[in-house]
Amino acid sequence: MCAQEAQVKAQSLAPYVGSPVPVVERMLELANLRPGETVYDLGCGDGRILIVAAQKHRVKAVGVELSERLAKSTSESLKKLGLSDLASVIHGDLMEVNLADADVVTLYLLRDSNDLLRPKLEKSLHPGARIISHDYEIRGWRPTAVEHLEASKRDHKIYVYTVPMSFAKK
Ligand SMILES: C[S@@+](CC[C@H](N)C(=O)[O-])C[C@H]1O[C@@H](n2cnc3c(N)ncnc32)[C@H](O)[C@@H]1O
């Protein structure tokens, strides 16, 4: 299948809404990143999670983004900030990306989208990998932590899951 056909087939799993910066910072703190680890932001929007991961935590960060416009502007931001050695963006469908080297996956999708993604995460992620989801839980998994955070005048939830312990059915 050519890249263009793959784009047509890809399903939009969430509209673009950026996580407020305090939420991004807390998500990455909760991920407990260690040197040499790799973060994937599935549906990376303007790349703000990649930027904080690379700038503050100095880890490799990979974003996947369906929107060509957002993928392009993220790539330009990373270049401007001098982060292209650590952070990059894949323009494509997050359901198709290889997550074999992911130590941390960040998500800000929708509950139903997390349902669709769950089997892929269960299949691809290694034990000890962490999944950090903004606002929407992953149904059927038990979180290792749930935090509430006030930002941009509303309450945000951050769900933390660890492979494989959190995979026990609720
Ligand atoms: C709610 S935004 C989150 C942006 C960023 N992760 C953040 O937290 O600031 C969701 C993003 O997922 C992207 N998206 C939706 N479906 C996608 C898919 N199938 N593959 C890749 N990206 C997708 C949207 O274009 C949007 O930018």
Helix (H, G, I), strand (E, B) or coil at 26: helix
Mutate to test the pocket of ligand 1, among 94, 106, 133 (most ligand atoms within 8 A of CB): 94
Please give the DSSP secondary-structure letter assigned to residue 95. T
Q: What is the pTM of this model?
A: 0.93
Q: Tell me whether residue 1 is in a domain.
A: no
How far, in Å, CA of 88 to CA of 90, rounded? 7
Structure tokens at 122: 């269960």
For 92, counting Cβ atoms within 10 Å of its Cβ (0-12 exposed, 13-18 middle, 19+ buried), the class is: middle
Q: Tell me whether residue 12 is in a domain.
A: no
For residue 4, the model assigns a pLDDT of 52
Q: Tell me whether residue 141 is in a domain.
A: yes
For 98, the domain range is: 17-167
How far, in Å, from the CA of 50 to the mean position of ligand 1? Answer: 13
Vertex 137: Cα angle to 133 and 141 (nearest 5): 105
Q: Tell me whether residue 7 is in a domain.
A: no
Instruction: Identify the CATH number of the domain in which residue 151 sits.
Output: 3.40.50.150
Ligand 1 within 6 A of CB of 12? yes
Pairing between strand 130-134 and 60-65?
Answer: unpaired
Report how many domains make up the chain.
1
Per-residue pLDDT of the chain (170 residues; tens, 9 = 90+): 445 554 557 899 999 999 999 999 999 999 999 999 999 999 999 999 999 999 999 999 999 999 999 999 999 999 999 999 999 999 999 999 999 999 999 999 999 999 999 999 999 999 999 999 999 999 999 999 999 999 999 999 999 999 975 454 44
Q: Tell me whether residue 35 is in a domain.
A: yes
For residue 71, the model assigns a pLDDT of 98
